[in-house]
Structure 1
Amino acid sequence: MAARLHALAIRTSTPEASLTFWEDLLGWSRQGAELDPGQEGAFRLVFEASHEPRQGLNQIHVHLTSNSAPQAATVVRARELGATHLDVGQAPEEDHVVLADPDGNEFCVIEEGNSWLAGTGFLGELACDGTREVGVFWSEAIGWPLVWDEDGETAISPPGGGVKIAWGGPPLNERHGRSRMYVVLVADDLDAEVERLVHLGAAVVERREGEIGMTDPDGNEFRLRQQVF
């Protein structure tokens, strides 16, 4: 069986504040340092304390939809919880609103009626910096089919829908140290899954008991962990 997407891990200098912010904004249940979406989403959010300075834009950021609540209401609520407006060079005519969480991580609130995220949950998409090669890799790695593959841009979604992960294609943003966010996968047989992922284009960078540190074809960090029942 292929590896399964378990979580998006977020390195933060303010783990408690970040956890509380996203718990209140998303309405997900808190389990230690994790937020569990229940039936609403395909993965958890995990918050990891880090003292590394934040530099530049993240390789991954979250898109929140306005499918079940007005965009303006979500922006107001996020601001009340501690978010701030962020200028990342967006044009005045763009309909989405860019905000930053209490630790400075950017996220977007997408406008009502956006057809691309129709049918997705409140956390509708992970928007990623990456090449077509890496989108194809992740489709094969976790078994989510490609739902977009044009002009170097790719996107995947689980067979039942509900969320998307998308890669914008080149040019890629400049990297500044370790990524603030990385994907966590789980598997029943670590050795077999490592071999499969390496065959798909991943590389092993670190081995620990019950966990393998790896990179995808673009050099993005991810972790593969033993499934715990």
Structure 2
Amino acid sequence: MTLELVQVNLKARNDSTLGRFWAQALGWSLSSEGPGVTNLEPAGFDWPDPSAVCVDLVRVPDPETVRYRVHLELATNTDAHHAELVGRLEELGATRADVGGVGVGAPSTVMADPEGNMFSVLEPRDLYRDTGPIAAVVVDCADPREAARFWGGAIGWTVHGLTDDRALLRSAKGVGPYLEFRRTSDDDVVWNRIHLDVMPDPVEDQAREVARLEGLGATRADVGQGDVSWVVMADPAGHQFCVLGRG
């Protein structure tokens, strides 16, 4: 297996301002690879590494028109840590939200970042004690079993739980956050501006990995990306993601 889940890509009105919020929220380092792009990763991180799924913020003129069914859930270690983190996030500009469908199945405080992207701060759970600040990347879907089949095959992650309502995957190395697929009806979906990015290792295997993903049921997608180094694809449920290449 040569494909790694390396980051979540978040569309933003102002990538640098929103990047500062998320860097402080996660306790991560902030950098930029060029105008309109802000990168977040743990200090000293040697990318890619399954111990963390990084965050890439990209400025777009009208992010409200870009919809992805993905959100982040943040881990806490104790009740005091949960209260402290929620309070600190509010000081940084986040607000509490009451939205059905987010946080179902796990006690949480649902919040919105300064640009309105929903996320959850989970109460302490043993499952997430060693994930780092991001407990899980959650994808709303109609069929968690089918999602686990595709994504388990795509990135080689181990399935830790599988029901009709929920599929839970994690790196085979037992590190980093979980990737969770959660059954949600279209009426309950909270649209966010986040999608997943995967990268071949080595990156020169991009064409071969794209072909392998097509064999698993993915399709290429045209979102007006033009001539770029990444390939935009959609999984069998229609969730778009990118296969990165050498930029």
Q: Paired residue for 1:204, among 220, 223, 232?
A: 220
TM-score by length of 2: 0.81
Superposition map of 1:168-183 within 5 A: 168-173=182-187, 180-183=193-196
1:87 to 1:175, Cα distance in 2 relative to 1, 3 A? closer
Rounded to whole Å, the distance in 1 between the matches of 2:24 and 2:229 is 32
1:36-185 map, 5 Å: 36-37=41-42, 38=45, 41-54=51-64, 59-67=69-77, 70-89=81-100, 95-112=107-124, 114-130=125-141, 131-132=143-144, 133-159=146-172, 160-173=174-187, 180-185=193-198
Uncovered stretches (5+) of structure 2, i.e. residues with no partner:
33-37
Shift of 1:52: 2.6
Out of 19-28 and 198-207, give the one that drifted further.
198-207
Instruction: Provide the residue aligned with 1:193 in structure 2.
Output: 209
Identity of aligned residues (%): 28
Q: For structure 1, which runs of at least 5 residues remain unmatched after alignment? A: none
Superposed CA deviations along residues 41-62 of structure 1, whole A, max 9, x for unmatched, are 4221000112335379851111
Shift of 1:152: 3.8
Shift of 1:162: 2.8
What is the aligned length?
A: 224
TM-score by length of 1: 0.87
Output one character per residue of 1:171-229: Cα deviation in whole Å (capped at 9) or x when no partner: 2457799x61111111231211111000011001247442211001111111111257x
Q: Single out whichever of 115-124 and 148-157 deviates more from structure 2.
A: 115-124
| Structure with a larger share of its residues in helix | 2
Kept in 2: contact 1:60–1:181 (CA 8 A): yes
Match of 1:224 in 2: 243
Q: Please identify, of 165-174 and 180-189, the stretch whose mean Cα deviation from structure 2 is larger.
A: 165-174
Greater than 6 Å deviation, 4+ residue runs = 174-177
Q: Name the Cα RMSD after superposition.
A: 2.7
